[in-house]
């Protein structure tokens, strides 16, 4: 096996018994760093410190990841222009924050007969969003509502 010392210097290719003896003499552990290499690479180090550092690196990487949330905005068929504008600005705010937005349009009672009004509202939303958003899920009917999902268009930035 290829042995690396406690302070990072390359000791060279040694057999297992010699590597174990050097690790015991240093009062540290012999840890296999790269088992798939030819010959395998081992390092003399404090194993508990190695595990601690690996855990810290993993936590740091996890902290830097951006979680994408799925926000939802509900519309009605007979929505007023003011309400529409407010909801649209909220959608734009969610998209600029990097979140996906699930847009649903609810039909109450006999409104479901006018599905074409729902399509018009969805077309208007997509037109207003322009190239700020890309369509992830086409509008589709699910029960008494139409649903579509949009996400931030990274190509526009």
Domain that holds residue 31: 2-64
Indicate the pTM of the whole model: 0.57
**How many domains does one find in the chain?**
2
**27 & 82 share domain:** no
Q: What CATH code is carried by the domain that includes residue 96?
A: 3.30.110.10
Last residue of one domain, picked from the residues 14, 33, 64:
64
Q: What CATH code is carried by the domain that includes residue 40?
A: 3.10.20.80
* Distance of alpha carbon 80 from alpha carbon 91, whole angstroms: 17
Buried b (16+ CB within 10 A) or exposed e, 87-125: bbeebbebbeeebbbebebebeeebeeeeeebeebbeeb
> Tens of pLDDT along 36-95?
888 899 999 988 888 999 999 999 888 887 777 889 999 998 889 999 999 999 999 998
């Amino acid at each position: 096996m290829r042995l690396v010392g406690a302070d990072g210097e390359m000791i060279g290719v040694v057999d297992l018994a010699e590597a174990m003896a050097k690790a015991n003499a240093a009062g540290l552990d012999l840890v296999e760093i790269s088992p798939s290499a030819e010959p395998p690479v081992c390092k003399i180090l404090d194993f508990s410190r190695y595990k601690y550092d690996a855990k810290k690196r993993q936590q740091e990487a996890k902290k830097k990841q951006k979680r994408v949330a799925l926000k939802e905005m509900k519309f009605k068929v007979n929505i007023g222009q003011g309400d529409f504008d407010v909801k649209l600005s909220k959608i734009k705010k969610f998209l600029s924050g990097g979140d996906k937005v699930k847009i649903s349009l609810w039909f109450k009672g006999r409104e479901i007969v006018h599905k074409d009004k729902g399509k018009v509202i969805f077309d208007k939303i997509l037109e207003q969003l322009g190239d700020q958003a890309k369509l992830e899920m086409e509008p589709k009917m699910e029960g008494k509502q139409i649903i579509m999902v949009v996400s931030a268009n990274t190509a526009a930035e």
